Amino acid sequence: MNKYRILLIITLLSLAGYNVEAQRFNRRVTEGFITVGAQVGTINYFGDMNPLTQYVAPEWRFLRPSIAINVQRKLSSNFHVRLEFTYGRLRGDDFISASPNNARHRYRYMRNTHFRNDIKELSLVGEYNIIGSSGKYYRRANFTPYILGGIAVFHHNPKAKTSDEFGGKWVALQPLGTEGQQSGVEGYAKPYARIQPALIFGAGVKWKLNDRTNLSFELAFRYLFFDQIDDVSGTYPDMGDLQSDLVRSLSNRTLETNNAVTGRSREPDLSRILEQVSPRVTYVGSDGNPYNTIAGFGSKGDKRGEAGNNDIYLVAGIRLSYIINVGLKCPQIR
């Protein structure tokens, strides 16, 4: 009987010792590392000139290149965090994306706005690898999908190209206040800031190329807290409240006969719209001067954009990362 007790005690002690050693082993071999990387890809946006509700995919003709550089730290078997800088240019143009023959798009074709906006973004992102790696850096998973989320701060400055009458130049729109923000007249919104926050959500897949190099494909949305990344949001101002003819020409572009960016003619579609859909009208502004426009556009309070829907931009690309520092402490998250 005593020998069975002794055997039981030895077995329990062995199991306890194995468990302690296993925990020590896990703590010992699970290590963090730091990587540096770069991404090349595309950037596009959803907003008043590319409505999310009307498109399954982005407006492919407005895809523009984007680049990013980052530094990333492994914090646990599954979780990484990275600091990243991204640059890209957003584009939109009613003349290109809205068909004058489609009743659903016709309003945007008549509005005839366009923009470009250079985005400079700094983000802090958490990345969760679905297939974790708890060993040495060179034993990390050969392949894993991952999800990501984070916050960003970006600088933007929407611009539009003036008509030939004003030199056909790209000008910054925020200082002009095309919806009355800079008019000094009460009742208009305040000027929007050119530095804005955003939330980031996305997903990707990652492949191990060798002991220190990874290749990934990633797609991530930036959800914004404002609706002016394209300088279109609410309603038309009273043209008489605006500061100059230049601002008025950029606020209401409905009667321009040529697209300012491409130089292509809007005739005969514009003539047909004026005859069959909305006629040309003239109204008197607050300054007592007459202003020509299309009925439903250009008068104070006429709809110019979708004020209730904040803008979104999307960054997608291929990234290459390289491990530069290994053996860092990486606590287990249980």
- What mean pLDDT do residues 110-138 have? 95
Provide the token pair at 313: 């931009």
Q: Given pLDDT bands bounded at 50, 70 and 90, which one contains residue 301? A: very high
pLDDT tens for each residue of 245-255: 999 999 999 99
Cα(246)–Cα(239) distance, integer angstroms: 11
- What mean pLDDT do residues 289-307 have? 94
Cα 79 to chain centroid, rounded? 24
Query: Strand ranges (DSSP E) for the chain?
Result: 31-46, 64-74, 79-93, 114-129, 143-155, 159-161, 170-172, 195-208, 213-224, 280-284, 290-294, 312-329
Q: Which 3 state secondary structure label does DSSP give 312?
A: strand
Burial of 150 (0-12, 13-18, 19+ CB in 10 A): buried
Question: How many CA atoms lie less than 13 Å away from 200 in the CB half-sphere?
Answer: 26
Average pLDDT of the chain to the nearest whole number: 89
Burial of 9 (0-12, 13-18, 19+ CB in 10 A): exposed
State which H helix or E strand residue 107 sits in. helix 106-111
- Long-range contacts of the stretch 15-19 (C-beta < 8 A, 24+): none
Sequence-distant (≥ 6) Cβ neighbours of residue 155 within 8 angstroms: 119, 120, 121, 194, 195
pLDDT tens for each residue of 188-213: 999 999 999 999 999 999 999 999 99
CA torsion sign for 62, 315, 88, 246 is positive
Contact between residue 174 and residue 190 where contact means Cβ atoms under 8 Å apart: no
- Tell me whether strands 143-155 and 79-93 are parallel, antiparallel or unpaired: unpaired
In this predicted structure, the answer to whether residue 232 has a pLDDT above a threshold of 80 is: yes
pLDDT at 16: 41
pLDDT at 327: 75
pLDDT tens for each residue of 13-62: 333 443 433 344 344 456 889 999 999 999 999 999 988 765 545 578 89
- Range of lowest pLDDT (9-13, 135-139, 214-218): 9-13
Q: Given pLDDT bands bounded at 50, 70 and 90, which one contains residue 182? A: very high
In this predicted structure, the answer to whether residue 293 has a pLDDT above a threshold of 50 is: yes
Provide the token pair at 117: 């906006």
- Tell me whether strands 195-208 and 213-224 are parallel, antiparallel or unpaired: antiparallel
Cα 230 to chain centroid, rounded? 12
Integer distance in angstroms from the first to the last C-alpha of the chain? 41
All domains in the chain, ordered by first residue: 29-236+308-329 (2.40.160.20)
Q: Give, in degrees to the nearest 5, the angle at Cα 186 between 182 and 192.
A: 40
In 10 A of CB 30, how many CB atoms?
19
Provide the token pair at 75: 């914090």
Pick from 88, 18, 94: nearest CA to 51: 94
Q: Which 3 state secondary structure label does DSSP give 304?
A: coil
Residue 196's alpha-carbon distances to 68, 218, 275, in angstroms, are 18, 23, 42
Contact between residue 247 and residue 180 where contact means Cβ atoms under 8 Å apart: no
pLDDT at 29: 52
Cα(229)–Cα(157) distance, integer angstroms: 8
